[in-house]
Structure 1
Amino acid sequence: MSFPWKRLISNVTLEWVTIAQVPIEKAAELPHLALRGQCGGCRCRDVRGSSRDSLGSADLASFHPGICHIADDDEEKTFPGDFKQLQEEVSQKVEAAELSKGLHGVVFSNLQAMLGDCKALQDLMDKLELEPFGHLDGPGGTILTELQKDSRYPGVGSKFLLLYLLEALMVLSDIQLGLLAQSLEKRILLPQRDLVRSILEPNFNCSQNTPFTLQPELLAPLQGEGLDITYGLLDECGLQMEPNSPRSTWDPEAQEPLSALYGTLSVLRQLAEA
């Protein structure tokens, strides 16, 4: 089973699971479907009401308000949805990882080299889910090799942290992955994370379009190109950001990608500073 990235929909956390290929006849009969995002910047999307011709067999999870249905064993779980839970979830994953200092550096530098290659990120995620790890060439292979060499291996926490990060990255668009690579180079992950948190925390459960203003003290470290990069990340989440303006409007559809962006920035910052 894939380590889940918890997708936030209508104040409900949807836990993704890898399930067997679902015949399209079966898929069309389910009342609510979520198609698991694939490599290439494709976000997980709601496919309710789609015709059979428009759907292919895919990894699917069905959901209803308040309930996440785990489709491979018909187990049901419910999850509260709020920013505090997301924040605690990220902190728990980081604290449980117990990566050695050397491994932190290896993981960070090689992930940085892979951010422009969505297929490489997907391949690494697939190999991490195998027992033992599968083989890869390139930066992903270096990460797998160092994980196996680390004195704490097999470290369940470190594996799950990487899967958590990779699942979050798969929610983001190709443009965002490129902007994240620039953010790493400019070392602006912390102010970006704090800015994203300032948007998410008060609006997390807001179901209407609501105006908000970014705090000047949070924008101060992100002047010039850094601010352009950050506004680009937010714009790709569905928030309309205007140059030279701290004002925007909350869009409920931005909750999912913005939550993934928050998780990504939090984990990458931890890897960068360890």
Structure 2
Amino acid sequence: MDTGTPPRESVLDLFRLTGRVVVVTGAGSGLGAGFARALAEAGADIVVAGRRRDKLELVAATVTELGRRCLAVPTDITDPDQCDTLARSTIDEFGRLDILVNNAGVTHAAPATRERPEDYRNVVEVNLFGAYWTAQACARVMAPGSSIVNVASMLGLIKSVLPQAAYASSKAGLIGLTRDLSHQWSGRKGIRVNAIAPGFVDTDMIGEMHGDTLDEFLRGCSLGRTATQREIDAAVVFLASAASGYITGSTLAVDGGTSGH
């Protein structure tokens, strides 16, 4: 008999993103491409942003195969005007922008006394400034209930085996930016802002790392292994979704316990 009482929402429903629109930067390859697919699996329509249209189109094809809509917008996030265009294109295509995954990033390793100014600037321009310009542009068009997930790194929390002053400082800065934007926007605009700090993930880049270096990193990892893409995907979906509705200004370490040492 129909009692007129709506069915109780399952806890799993909180992780679903049906009807939501997500922008993923750095989506042409690596973690970003995986995030685009995972968020589509959770029910969202996706906007993939990055510098190379050909790579974005390949990722967009995998999203549409999942039955979701996808728009590819070539974007250099170090240019605030292009970030504004990314946000406007999303609104023009979908009529809304609910979630931003600020994933675009570059790395550089060099001894601090020999690091060239242009190399340091490039890392900070992409990893910190670019994340800020993108968040700024998207927040201007986001409605209350939206979410921003910044992709930081465990190296924003702990020391690195390799000399990576530019990368580590840019990711530590991104964690600080996450706290500040959360304070500014969560209450006033209804936009939650969080970050994840992944450890080493089993990607092509890790495959190119010298074995001794990776072993040294993993000695500080409680789980003693690299993460899978899907383990990082799950953390992003959690922070993007209503499942994390009472979490803002936080950085979730997804590093196998490395930063807990």
Normalising TM by the smaller chain, what interval? under 0.3
TM-score by length of 1: 0.26
Greater helix fraction, Structure 1 or Structure 2: 1
User: Which protein, 1 or 2, shows the higher relative CO under an 8 Å CA cutoff with sep ≥ 6?
Assistant: 1
